[in-house]
Amino acid sequence: MIRIGNASGFYGDRASAWREMLEGGPLDVLTGDYLAELTMLILARDRLKDPSLGYARTFLRQMEQCLGLAADRGVRIVTNAGGLNPAGLAAALRSLAARLGLSTTIGYVEGDALDQPDALAANAYLGAFGIASCLDAGADVVVTGRVTDASLVVGPAIAHFGWTRDDLDALAGATVAGHVLECGAQATGGNFSFFTELPDGGRRPGFPIAEVHADGSAVITKHPGTGGAVTVETVTAQLVYEIAGPAYPGPDVVTHLDTVRLAQEGADRVRITGTRGTPPPPTLKVGVAGLDGYRNAMTFVLTGLDLDAKAALVRAQMEDAVGKEGLAFTLTKTADGALLHAAIHDPDPKRAGRAFSSAAVELALASYPGCTLTTPPTDPTPNTTFKTAEIPQLPHWSIPHDGPRVEIPPPTQTAPLIREYVDRHAARHADELPDQLRWRVGARSGDKGSDANVGVWVRSAQDFAVLRGWLSRERFVELLPELAEYPIERYEMSNLFAINFVVRGVLARRDWLDPQGKALGERLRARLRESR
């Protein structure tokens, strides 16, 4: 068994988590995930300002205190904090180790960066065998660029157990463990629908650990005494996060999430078994970060009477001042009034900048009664875009601390990915959902490029039998009518008592107030209860 912990789910996660995990109990490997899709855009803009950057600088600061502690505890570190410049971060870590008087060996993985002149950055999502190669060569710390999030866990398991590309079920099982760990405290009660049921109310959840076994099965747990909880439901919530169908594609294996079995085997211990894997697709996912003009936004606070008329007046005044092109308005009603969010997107930084925000502020004494805004005039920000594409599987390279550059060839056995969405019950769904069941539905939502997913689950086979017969695509759109114009796919995973909805293209909306789709799940739960 290998114990693999996680100390970061995104760029900006809890700064103290690395120390907490190293001091909290035994570990073999500690991972850190920094590369959300938004992070690649942030790092690309950093690199525009300074070509020596492009990596997660917070990780380097965290290692000031933790590199020696990891060495003392015999814990190896694997992170994708290298971002767009893994070689640069590896060099900075070597300098840090020398300054601290440590003999830490640092390897890195490269080969994800692609040459695309019209993009800020284009990076392929690599697999886990480059990480394993660095660890096999003796690296204490492995830095990567863009790898799949789960690869941070799969790589150490490959090195520990000696798996090959033919060990598809084991690779799939470790991928599930990696998917559970990748978002840090989301597996231990963070962002959990039923957070009020957690022992500490979800105030400070600990970070997760996977005890991975030679067959790819795992136990998800956390250090004793840390907050939150590890239950079948907290793990389920993470499993349905940012996925599409049950066939979950990766560069090393297709993991079939509808084969996963979860069981509570003790306090804060959930065993994952049964996961099946099949050969990976012949392609890799590529994330492409680009620039598309400039954007800006101001928010008006509306109170009292005639809210719609007040919003209409502001809209007309802003259009008169800067023109209609590229303007978007979103009115959100609140208990005390409403918020009118005015946004602009334009290739001209002057029009998107003070011309827009000053026009909003100038209405303070010349618009609706009670006019007020939430911010002063602001400068524009570059409007960055993130798109995905696919390319044929390609080799990448591991670079040990002082050894030769090692080529990691692509898999030789691949199979096309077949996506089949399921809506078998659309024609015969139940007329009613019992009131009590409406309170037992959990949800978690997120982003996959320009798509959003909403994973919904219940707590028993009996509840799932009712939910699957009621919550069709049609019902989903009735509950979230703002999504009606987008293609929606529906998938079932009866093993998890879960249904997953994928909304294609919704996050490409520039006026969308939930740009990463994080709030869709809770919005659905609220409307489930309101729709009685």
Q: Torsion angle, CA of 301/306/309/311, rounded to 10 degrees?
A: 10
Burial 485-514 (b: 16+ CB within 10 A, else e): ebebbbbbbebbbbbbbbbbebbebeebeb
Please say whether the beta carbons of 344 and 297 come within 8 A.
Answer: yes
Our CA angle for 262, 267, 269, nearest 5°, is: 40
Res 249: pLDDT: 97
Phi, psi of 438 (to 5 degrees): -60, -25
pTM reported for the whole predicted model:
0.91
Our CA angle for 400, 403, 409, nearest 5°, is: 65
Res 384: pLDDT: 79
Please say whether the beta carbons of 108 and 134 come within 8 A.
Answer: yes
Burial 399-411 (b: 16+ CB within 10 A, else e): bbbeeeebebebb
Sorted by sequence, the CB contacts under 8 Å of residue 20 that are 6+ apart come out as 7, 14, 206, 207, 223, 226
Q: Return per-residue pLDDT of the chain as tens, 532 residues.
A: 999 999 999 999 999 999 999 999 999 999 999 998 778 888 988 898 899 999 999 999 999 999 999 999 999 999 999 999 999 999 999 999 999 999 999 999 999 999 988 888 999 999 999 999 999 999 999 999 999 999 999 999 999 999 999 999 999 999 999 999 999 999 999 999 999 999 988 899 999 999 999 999 999 999 999 999 999 999 999 999 999 999 999 999 999 999 999 999 999 999 999 999 999 999 999 999 888 899 999 999 999 999 999 999 999 999 999 999 999 999 999 988 999 999 999 999 999 999 999 999 999 999 999 999 998 998 998 887 888 899 999 999 999 987 789 999 999 999 999 876 655 444 445 678 898 999 999 999 999 888 999 999 999 999 999 999 999 999 999 999 999 999 999 999 999 999 999 999 998 876 677 889 999 999 999 999 987 6
Handedness of CA 508, 514, 516, 521 (dihedral sign): negative
Task: Kindly state the tokens that stand for 522.
Answer: 């809770």
DSSP state of 345: E
Domains and CATH numbers, the chain: 2-282+393-408 (no CATH), 290-384 (3.30.70.2750), 426-530 (3.30.70)
DSSP state of 186: G
Please say whether the beta carbons of 289 and 122 come within 8 A.
Answer: yes
Where do the H-state alpha helices sit in 198-294? 232-239
Please say whether the beta carbons of 399 and 378 come within 8 A.
Answer: no
Of 372, 214, 229, give the one whose Cα is nearest residue 301: 372
CA 445 vs CA 232, 242, 448: distances in Å: 18, 7, 10
Res 427: pLDDT: 42
Please say whether the beta carbons of 458 and 467 come within 8 A.
Answer: yes
Please say whether the beta carbons of 510 and 345 come within 8 A.
Answer: yes
Res 192: pLDDT: 97
Where do the H-state alpha helices sit in 102-248? 129-136, 151-161, 168-181, 232-239
Please say whether the beta carbons of 156 and 29 come within 8 A.
Answer: yes
DSSP state of 146: S
